Amino acid sequence: MTGMRIERDSMGEVPVPSEALWGAQTQRSYENFPIGIETMPLEIVYALARLKAAAARANASLGALADEKSALICRVAEEILSGMHDGQFPLAVWQTGSGTQSNMNMNEVIANRGNQIAGGRVLHPNDDVNRSQSSNDTFPTAMHVAAACAVHARLLPAIDALIAEFARLEAENEGVVKSGRTHLMDAVPIAFSQEISGWRGLLEAAREEIVASMEGVYRLALGATAVGTGLNAPAGFDVRAASELAQATGLPFVTDPNKFHALTAKDALVFSHGALKALAANLMKIANDVRWLASGPRLGLGEIRIPANEPGSSIMPGKVNPTQCEAVTMVAVQVMGNDAALGFAASQGNFELNVFMPLIAYEYLQSVRLLADCADSFRLRCVAGIVADRARMHTNLHASLMLVTCLNPYIGYDSAAEVAQKAYAENTSLRDACIALGFLTAQRFDEVFKPEEMI
């Protein structure tokens, strides 16, 4: 059985596992919130570590913290960022809505580990590691830092790689003409490369929207302390701490000019997650298009072939399903659900503080993670292996009654509709129907009827 040691906080003594770097407040939260299996995302843990290092440097530069304490805090923060102490952050997402206990978890781990390194009690979790801060401004700052870092490090590269894969596929299929479809019905011709360019455009537009949504996320609450007044923080701390975070991450973080807004509102993350939802919607559309075009292989559209990654049925031998597309669409639904939860949570800012922040952080970061992962998986295991069935496309194109549209300038809309209806009813070609109705001679029909030129 794990040994225990006694830690103390303002409420008294608490037994803590001997090997744990956390202290009394973390232990109380761990015991008081045995809810679910969702723990605070590591992205938040790492953002808090970056924040503590930035705050320590800012405090030291302003004479609010001894240089040796600042250096010790920064050293432990680097250990945390290396993944060395991931197991020291066990708290549930479903805790206090301010994230106070996760902030204290970080404060206690840094203080205790720093004291181990120093060989004595040098750091205090509140007086030193939390100097010039409150959980009320550190947690929303960590949310913004984690969100921005996740988008730039994981999501944007995944989108860019998928865009590049579609661009390759587009070039590969230049000049291949197929039937377009609207309302799930046959429409006029389109080049397959044009159809692919639409998919690429969906991703490029979503990327632009996500990047644009980052402007509000770059504004940080740090320096607001408890209610936005900056109580107990030295003048200039907010600007210096934001500058330190910008330098550490390479992202343009700045202090929020209105700290009262920064504490109580979560609209920047609502707005940004809206862009994530737009990406999810676009990925849903692309994945649906791909699985429709690949449907069959004999009794569906069958105009493209996608990789056969695994058996699709436990009873039907040889069946292969569009599983990567299905994963993308499930992720899209999850992100849309996250957007609803995040919006509801952001609406609950009462007076000087929103107390749904762990939920908001969890939902936003889960969406980024899922979108990045599914974009990579979809690219590697589906899009990279898409092959156009050009013969099937040609056959379907020339069987389409909507090719009659090219006759409009020569015989008019009503006559063209009569041709299409006759061809459909009698299961004949448009050419035969048009000639039988006397609208065009065979020679003239052949002169004007050129499906490949309709794109």
- Residues with Cβ within 8 Å of 99's Cβ and at least 6 positions away in sequence, in order, are 44, 135, 138, 139, 142, 357, 358, 361
pLDDT average, residue stretch 88-98: 98
Give the CATH number of domain 4-131; options: 3.20.20.70, 4.10.910.10, 1.10.275.10, 3.40.50.300.
1.10.275.10
- The per-residue pLDDT for 12 is 95
Rounded percentage of the chain residues whose pLDDT exceeds 90: 99
Of 81, 76, 71, which is closest to residue 107 (Cα–Cα)?
A: 76
pLDDT band at residue 125 under the 50/70/90 scheme: very high
Annotated catalytic residue: which of 135, 183, 197, 400? 183
- The per-residue pLDDT for 1 is 44
CA separation for the pair 141, 152 (Å, rounded):
17
- The per-residue pLDDT for 349 is 83
pLDDT band at residue 149 under the 50/70/90 scheme: very high
Alpha helix stretches (DSSP H) within 179-302: 192-217, 237-249, 259-264, 267-293
CA separation for the pair 428, 441 (Å, rounded):
16
pLDDT average, residue stretch 227-234: 98
* pLDDT digits 0-9 by tens, 159-189: 999 999 999 999 999 999 999 999 999 999 9
Of 367, 371, 389, which is closest to residue 379 (Cα–Cα)?
A: 371
pLDDT average, residue stretch 16-23: 97
CA separation for the pair 147, 269 (Å, rounded):
8
Q: Whole-prediction pTM value?
A: 0.96
183 among known catalytic residues: yes
CA separation for the pair 91, 33 (Å, rounded):
8
Dihedrals phi, psi of 178, to nearest 5 degrees = -145, 175
Q: Is the pLDDT of residue 290 over 50?
A: yes
* pLDDT digits 0-9 by tens, 45-56: 999 999 999 999
* pLDDT digits 0-9 by tens, 396-432: 999 999 999 999 999 999 999 999 999 999 999 999 9
Q: Is the pLDDT of residue 355 over 90?
A: yes
- The per-residue pLDDT for 291 is 98
CA separation for the pair 455, 169 (Å, rounded):
18
- The per-residue pLDDT for 156 is 98
Residue boundaries of the structural domains of the chain = 4-131, 144-176+191-223+257-389, 400-453
CA separation for the pair 416, 426 (Å, rounded):
15
Give the CATH number of domain 400-453; options: 2.60.40.420, 3.30.110.30, 1.10.40.30, 2.40.30.10.
1.10.40.30
Q: What rounded mean pLDDT belongs to the chain?
A: 97
Give the CATH number of domain 144-176+191-223+257-389; options: 3.10.129.10, 1.20.200.10, 1.20.1260.10, 1.25.40.10.
1.20.200.10
Annotated catalytic residue: which of 70, 98, 132, 313? 313
Q: Is the pLDDT of residue 299 over 80?
A: yes
